[in-house]
């Protein structure tokens, strides 16, 4: 379905980004991977994805907190792979603390990586998409883009912000063959959430398994995690012709979190 298309997925060395990148490669898209991690492990991942799916896979270690590096990431994809047709703004970090004790530098980093990076990448990718009259921008927001939780001030602010950016991008591209949507996952058991599970287990003396269930039970009626593969399938749908008129949406996949 995506043969001849090029996808840039930020933060795709792990978790949800990797799940989405894998699904897009399976549909034939060439990939620009991005994210941090062990260089040898990333190179192994790059080669495996390319061999398994018969697509070109490149990698950039651009730091999504740095606008100049974000522009370089988009330029590198255009130079090495020919274009940027699909942009998945996924890289993200978390920090949990009450506002009075929330470190200023964590606020700045979360706003930069979880929100501003999507603006800079979208700004850099749009001219090429408009020229080719086809584009799919998928912003990975969160249920926290639509409702709040205590002790996540920066994350909730950034995720609400990215849903606003999604709507503006949709309006500005409505007649250019481009769609822009946000995906709002509930709990997904990635390293980002594993840290929260471990912190909870430590604070309460629970086992890791008990802490997982307690974490789910607090917010999510369905006591199971959404997976990166589930989210990859939703991203694939958003890249399909069936979703050609779907734009400006914030789409939850959240085990009933937002139904309450
Ligand atoms: P993760 O920690 O598994 O992956 C994060 C990815 O972002 C990694 O590849 C990491 O290297 C990369 N990254 C972090 N900082 C970066 C930077 N400065 N520059 C470039 N890359 C950077 O986390 P995840 O859970 O897969 O999160 C991915 C996205 O999904 C985030 O935006 C997160 O907010 C969102 N999300 C996650 C959940 C969940 O339950 N896990 C729920 C809703 C939304």
Chain segment 25-64, per-residue pLDDT in tens: 999 999 999 999 999 999 999 999 999 999 999 999 999 9
Tens-place pLDDT, residues 239-255: 999 999 999 999 999 99
CA 15 / ligand 1 centre spacing (Å)? 7
Ligand 1 neighbours, Cβ below 6 Å, are: 11-17, 34-37, 63-65, 90-93, 113-114, 140, 142, 185, 187-188, 190-193
Burial 171-190 (b: 16+ CB within 10 A, else e): eebeeeebbbbbbbbbbbbb
Report the mean per-residue pLDDT for the chain: 98
Q: What pTM did the predictor assign?
A: 0.98
Please, which residues bridge with residue 149 across strands?
A: none
User: pLDDT value at position 40?
Assistant: 98
**In testing the pocket of ligand 1, which one of 8, 11, 39, 120 has its CB within 8 Å of the most ligand atoms?**
11
User: pLDDT value at position 56?
Assistant: 98
Q: What mean pLDDT is predicted for residues 21-28?
A: 98
Q: Which atom of ligand 1 is nearest to the CA of 185?
A: 43
Q: Which atom of ligand 1 is nearest to the CA of 112?
A: 18
**Do 138 and 91 form a contact (C-beta atoms < 8 A)?**
no
Share of the chain above pLDDT 70, in %: 100
**In testing the pocket of ligand 1, which one of 31, 41, 91 has its CB within 8 Å of the most ligand atoms?**
91
Domain boundaries, given as residue ranges, for the chain? 6-186+227-259, 189-225
| Residue keyed to tokens 């970090």 | 93
Q: Is 181 helix (H, G, I), strand (E, B) or coil?
A: strand
CA 98 / ligand 1 centre spacing (Å)? 21
User: How far is Cα 214 from Cα 240, in angstroms, rounded to an integer?
Assistant: 37
| Residue keyed to tokens 């990215």 | 162
Active site (catalytic) residues? 155
Tens-place pLDDT, residues 92-120: 999 999 999 999 999 999 999 999 999 99
Burial 109-143 (b: 16+ CB within 10 A, else e): bbbbbbbbbbbbbbebbbebbeeeebbbbbbbbbb
Radius of gyration of the chain (CA): 18
**Do 223 and 257 form a contact (C-beta atoms < 8 A)?**
no
User: pLDDT value at position 187?
Assistant: 97
User: How far is Cα 53 from Cα 47, in angstroms, rounded to an integer?
Assistant: 10
Note the CATH architecture for domain 6-186+227-259: 3-Layer(aba) Sandwich (3.40)
Please, which residues bridge with residue 140 across strands?
A: 183
CA 175 / ligand 1 centre spacing (Å)? 31
Structure letter (DSSP) for residue 190: S
- With a CB cutoff of 8 Å and minimum separation 6, the contacts of 19 are 227, 228, 229, 231, 232
Please, which residues bridge with residue 97 across strands?
A: 152
**Cβ neighbour number for residue 69 with a 10 Å cutoff:** 17
Q: What mean pLDDT is predicted for residues 218-238?
A: 98
**In testing the pocket of ligand 1, which one of 184, 190, 253 has its CB within 8 Å of the most ligand atoms?**
190
């Amino acid at each position: 379905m995506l043969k001849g298309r090029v996808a840039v997925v930020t933060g795709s060395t792990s978790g949800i980004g990797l799940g989405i990148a894998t699904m897009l490669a399976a549909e034939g898209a060439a990939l620009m991977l991005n994210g941090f991690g062990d260089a040898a492990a990333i190179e192994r991942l790059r080669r495996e994805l390319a061999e398994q799916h018969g697509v070109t896979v490149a990698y950039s270690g651009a730091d999504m907190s740095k606008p100049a590096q974000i522009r370089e990431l988009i330029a590198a994809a255009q130079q090495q792979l020919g274009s940027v047709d699909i942009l998945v703004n996924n890289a993200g970090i978390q920090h949990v603390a009450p506002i009075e004790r929330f470190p200023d530098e964590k606020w700045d980093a979360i706003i930069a990586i979880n929100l501003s990076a999507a603006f800079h990448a979208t700004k850099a990718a749009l001219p090429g998409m408009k020229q080719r009259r086809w584009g799919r921008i998928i912003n990975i927001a969160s249920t926290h883009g639509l409702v709040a939780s205590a002790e996540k001030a920066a994350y909730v602010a950034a995720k609400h912000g990215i849903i606003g950016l999604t709507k503006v991008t949709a309006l500005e591209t409505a007649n250019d063959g481009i769609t822009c949507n946000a995906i709002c996952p509930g709990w997904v058991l990635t390293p980002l959430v594993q840290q929260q599970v471990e912190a909870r287990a430590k604070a309460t003396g629970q086992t890791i398994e008990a802490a997982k269930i307690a974490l789910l039970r607090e917010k999510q009626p369905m006591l199971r995690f959404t997976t990166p593969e589930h989210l990859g399938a939703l991203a694939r749908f958003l890249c399909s012709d069936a979703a050609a008129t779907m734009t400006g949406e914030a789409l939850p996949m959240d085990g009933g979190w937002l139904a309450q």
